[in-house]
Amino acid sequence: MIEAFGPLPRPACGERGPFPVSGSADIWEPASAPHPEAARNGAGSDLSPQGGEVTGRAVNSFTTPEMTALIFPAEPAYVLRNATGARALLAQPQSYPGDGETVRLDLAVERGRIVRITPAGAGEERPPVDLDGGMVWPCFTDIHTHLDKGHIWPRSPNPNGRHAADRTAHWSTADVAARMRFGVRCAYAHGTRAVRTYIDSTSEQGEISWPVLAAMREEWEGRVALQGVSLIAIAAFRDEDGGMRLADLVARHGGILGAATTIEPDLDVLLDRVFALAQGATSISIFTSTRPTIRNLVRLPISR
């Protein structure tokens, strides 16, 4: 038996994200069925990175008085019946009755993968799980996170957003790994398939956090895709040797070279330097740290 969230299932996730594969039937690429793994409550209502151990395929999951567990068959093949899906995501929406924005559908699952999507009641002969109209969506992609900063509030409340003191005191390899793993597990349990995280990349911290992210990417391969971007003030690139070391560090760990712009007298020079370091890299990320500096984005085509 598998316990999962209810009454709505976790999203069914296509390998190609929200877009169905074109073809003669409404079939996404083989996709993950709602997965039972969920981060578990620690003592009382205190959620902590140390919680969430999973044994076999039966796990505890977050629940509220309004939530009812869905029970999945032990058989490797079953059907998620009577689900609600978005018509716009179907390869052949005309096959479904009505003209509303959502439709009722059945999802055939084999060994944890969605193999077929058909109109509800089409006659799938396999053990059913009645979703009672619960909505099924492609998995989430979270494009802006800070997994290295997460879950520090209990020890270091920071209403002003400052966290340098906590970073200096606590951000060891073990600490970053525990908090990052908990963040990814929570994202996974709630239907996220891909996460981009910014990584504080001052010289000392970068040498700690980037290897942790690389190990986490390997650990979660096939479940959550992790992409890292260096987070550092663009003024740091005045140190040319330091900029080269950072670019090498990011490249070694499969990341994206990033910099946060502020209003600097030599901004054009700094932007040119960042782009030069990114030559041959797969991507670069330039972002502004305060609203007035949005004007800096206008300079990018010139600097590049």
pLDDT digits (tens, 9 = 90+) for 68-106: 677 888 888 999 999 999 999 998 898 898 889 999 999
Percent pLDDT > 70 in the chain is 69
Q: For 240, how many CA atoms within 13 A lie in the half-sphere containing its CB?
A: 4
Judge whether 195 and 224 are in contact, CB under 8 Å.
yes
State the pLDDT at residue 279: 80
pLDDT digits (tens, 9 = 90+) for 13-65: 333 333 222 222 222 222 333 333 333 222 222 333 433 322 222 222 333 44
DSSP class of residue 154 equals: T
Angstrom CA distances, 177 to 38, 164, 184, stand at 18, 18, 10
Tell me the two tokens of residue 155: 């020890």
Angstrom CA distances, 217 to 164, 177, 208, stand at 25, 11, 15
pLDDT digits (tens, 9 = 90+) for 10-27: 333 333 333 222 222 222
Judge whether 120 and 82 are in contact, CB under 8 Å.
yes
Q: Which domains does the chain have, with CATH numbers?
A: 1-137 (no CATH), 140-303 (3.20.20.140)
Percent pLDDT > 90 in the chain is 54
Judge whether 74 and 109 are in contact, CB under 8 Å.
no
Largest CA distance in the chain: 69
Q: How far apart are CA 128 and CA 164, in angstroms?
A: 52
Preceding omega of 7 cis (within 30 degrees of 0): yes
Mean pLDDT over each residue of the chain, to the nearest integer: 76
Quickly count: other Cβ atoms within 10 Å of residue 30's Cβ: 14
Q: How far apart are CA 96 and CA 194, in angstroms?
A: 30
pLDDT digits (tens, 9 = 90+) for 196-220: 999 999 989 999 999 999 999 999 9
Render 218-282 in DSSP notation, one character per residue.
HHTTTT-EEEEEEE-BGGGGGSHHHHHHHHHHHHHTT-BEEEEE---TTHHHHHHHHHHHTTTSS
State the pLDDT at residue 167: 96
